Homo-oligomer: A and B are copies of this chain.
Amino acid sequence: MSRFAPLPDPPYYAVIFTAQRTEGDHGYDAMAAQMVTLAEDQPGYIGAESTRDAGGLGITVSYWADEDSLKAWKEVAQHLLAQKLGKTRWYQHYTLRVARVERAYDGPEGR
Contact across chains for A107 and B94 when beta carbons are under 8 A apart? yes
**Chain B residue nearest in CB terms to A90:** B108
What copy number does this chain have within its complex? 2
**Chain B residue nearest in CB terms to A101:** B99
Range class of the A interface residue count: 35 or more
> Which residues of A are at the interface with B, using a C-beta cutoff of 8 A?
3-5, 7, 14, 16, 18, 20, 49-55, 57-59, 61, 86-88, 91, 93-111
Q: With both chains docked as a complex, state the minimum distance between the C-beta of A11 and any C-beta of chain B, in angstroms.
A: 9
Q: With both chains docked as a complex, state the minimum distance between the C-beta of A80 and any C-beta of chain B, in angstroms.
A: 14
**Chain B residue nearest in CB terms to A108:** B87
Contact across chains for A87 and B109 when beta carbons are under 8 A apart? yes
